């Protein structure tokens, strides 16, 4: 009996030890970080965390005189878990703000939490267009991009290249609709035609049923694939005998998929705000250090969180290192100009989205060891072939004109020229 009581008391004690909130130090900023560390998005979550941590380690855990307390939470990639973790960070750890999230859906969910608890949310990755357009939360800033931001310049590039009739293959969810929608709007504004839109289920690895729908008379194919679909598409596309040039969104051929791709990817032209092959001193140093620390190629996920940390640092400096000044933080975050981020110059434009360079990247094989990184020879890189400088989320449209339209979806823009 006695033993049981002791065991009972011990269990309660352990539970209490878990519950007791951590003590607070004098001058510190508490930053919550939410990324998937388990589940199918774990690798991406790791890249996100690595980028942020690398900046903190480079600065020995300090931002000026302020000590950074980095509180990391596993979101498993699900929107509702993200929400719960954010509330935990706000209520229990009393964070000054939280950073993270991955899918567009998590972005919207986290934005609602931020407004409800009046705690700032900084979004480095979730790219839902409406977060900085029609449904912008108040306690929110973005250091990443909007889904369609890279799609508008890609459409210009495609038109200038002489393509007029294009087949679009998009992943069947918000990110896919917004990317393909943005591409179509700009492309058709210039006078091109999207002659077919094919929506592919998220996570598709077998494109057999979709490939025959691609007309061989088209000039090119534009693809927005994510994760396993990105890897499978070019392989099966080439195997089916297609010779049409391939265009794609940022995730269609990124630093995640390139190491696992082969010759089929060569010539794949994609648009995005970052490429590990971007040849600037800042980026070369970043890629090199990332490679030596974590043994893999830097991706836009690690770049964007790294830059976010830098951005937070600069903002804090502007508000005299007072992390409690949330209003000032949001104001100054939008005023700071970042000149030395790996991806290039950045600042917040109208409606709170990042204005940044969009790079048109072509997959090439670079024999030898680029930058002496220890990457295996003959590796694939996203060579930057054209830069569209300072692209805003509205591209060449005026914000008013842009916002009059509904957000890009499966039904907007409609398929006027579909065959």
What is the C-alpha to C-alpha distance for residues 100 and 342, in angstroms, rounded to an integer? Answer: 19
Which run of H or E residues covers position 255?
none
Q: Contacting other proteins (CB under 8 A), which of 11, 24, 58, 80?
A: 80
Taking the complex as a whole, the smallest distance from the CB of residue 77 to other proteins amounts, in Å, to 9
Burial of 326 (0-12, 13-18, 19+ CB in 10 A): middle
Q: Contacting other proteins (CB under 8 A), which of 173, 294, 321, 347?
A: 173
Range 160-182 burial, b when 16+ CB lie within 10 A, else e: eeebebbbbbbbebbbbbbbbbb
- Six-digit token string for 230: 């990105």
Cβ distance to other proteins smaller for residue 82 or 315: 82
Q: Identify which range of 86-94, 140-148, 251-259, 299-307 contacts other proteins by CB under 8 A.
A: 86-94
Q: Identify which range of 15-23, 322-330, 350-358, 392-400 contacts other proteins by CB under 8 A.
A: 15-23
- Six-digit token string for 309: 């940390």
Per CB under 8 A, 159 contacts other proteins: no
Q: Contacting other proteins (CB under 8 A), which of 35, 54, 168, 174?
A: 174
- Six-digit token string for 145: 């991009």
Per CB under 8 A, 53 contacts other proteins: no
Per CB under 8 A, 69 contacts other proteins: no
Q: Identify which range of 73-81, 149-157, 216-224, 295-303 contacts other proteins by CB under 8 A.
A: 73-81
Q: Contacting other proteins (CB under 8 A), which of 11, 24, 84, 215?
A: 84
Other CB atoms within 10 Å distance of the CB of residue 216: 9
Does residue 44 contact residue 256 with C-beta atoms inside 8 Å?
yes
Both ends of the chain: CA-CA distance in Å? 80
Considering CB under 8 A, how many residues would be counted as binding other proteins? 30
Per CB under 8 A, 228 contacts other proteins: no
Cβ distance to other proteins smaller for residue 18 or 26: 18
Does residue 254 contact residue 343 with C-beta atoms inside 8 Å?
no
Per CB under 8 A, 103 contacts other proteins: yes
Does residue 315 contact residue 34 with C-beta atoms inside 8 Å?
no
Q: Which residue, among 82, 92, 86, has the nearest Cα to 115 in the 3D structure?
A: 86
User: Which residues of the shown chain bind other proteins in the complex (CB under 8 A)?
Assistant: 18-19, 21, 37-38, 73-74, 78-81, 83-84, 87-88, 91-92, 103-105, 108-109, 112, 115-116, 128, 173-174, 409-410
């Amino acid at each position: 009996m006695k033993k049981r009581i002791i065991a009972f008391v011990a269990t309660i004690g352990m539970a209490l030890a878990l519950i007791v909130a951590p003590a607070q130090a004098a001058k510190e900023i508490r930053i919550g970080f939410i990324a998937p560390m388990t589940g199918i998005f774990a690798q991406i979550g790791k890249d996100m965390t690595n980028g942020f941590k690398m900046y903190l380690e480079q600065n020995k855990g300090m931002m000026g005189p302020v000590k950074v307390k980095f509180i990391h939470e596993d979101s498993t990639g699900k929107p509702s878990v993200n929400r719960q973790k954010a509330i935990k960070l706000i209520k229990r750890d009393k964070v000054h703000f939280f950073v993270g999230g991955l899918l567009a859906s998590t972005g919207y969910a986290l934005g609602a939490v931020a407004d409800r608890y009046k705690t700032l949310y900084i979004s480095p990755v979730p790219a839902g267009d409406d977060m900085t357009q029609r449904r912008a939360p108040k306690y929110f800033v973005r250091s990443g991009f909007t889904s369609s931001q890279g799609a508008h310049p890609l459409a210009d590039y495609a038109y200038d290249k002489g393509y007029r009739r294009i087949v679009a293959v998009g992943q069947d969810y918000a990110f896919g609709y917004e990317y393909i929608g943005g591409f179509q709007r700009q492309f058709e504004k210039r006078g091109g035609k999207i002659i077919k839109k094919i929506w592919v289920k998220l996570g598709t690895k077998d494109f057999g049923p979709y490939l025959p729908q691609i007309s061989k008379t088209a000039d090119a194919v534009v693809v927005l694939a994510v994760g396993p679909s990105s890897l499978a598409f070019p392989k099966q596309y080439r195997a089916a005998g297609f010779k049409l040039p391939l265009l794609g969104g940022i995730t269609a051929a990124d630093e995640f998929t390139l190491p696992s791709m082969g010759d089929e990817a060569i010539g794949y032209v994609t648009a995005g705000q970052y490429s590990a092959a971007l040849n600037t001193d800042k980026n070369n140093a970043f890629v090199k250090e990332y490679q030596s620390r974590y043994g893999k190629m830097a991706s836009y996920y690690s770049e964007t969180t790294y830059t976010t940390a830098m951005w937070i640092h600069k903002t804090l400096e502007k508000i005299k290192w007072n992390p409690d000044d949330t209003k000032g933080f949001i104001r100054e975050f939008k005023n700071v100009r970042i000149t030395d981020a790996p991806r290039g110059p950045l600042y917040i434009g109208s409606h709170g989205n990042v204005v940044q360079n969009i790079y048109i990247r072509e997959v090439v094989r670079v024999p030898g060891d680029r930058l002496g990184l220890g990457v295996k020879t003959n590796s694939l890189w996203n060579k930057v072939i054209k830069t569209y400088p300072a692209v805003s989320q509205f591209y060449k449209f005026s914000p008013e004109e842009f916002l009059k339209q509904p957000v890009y979806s499966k039904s907007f823009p409609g398929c006027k020229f579909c065959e």
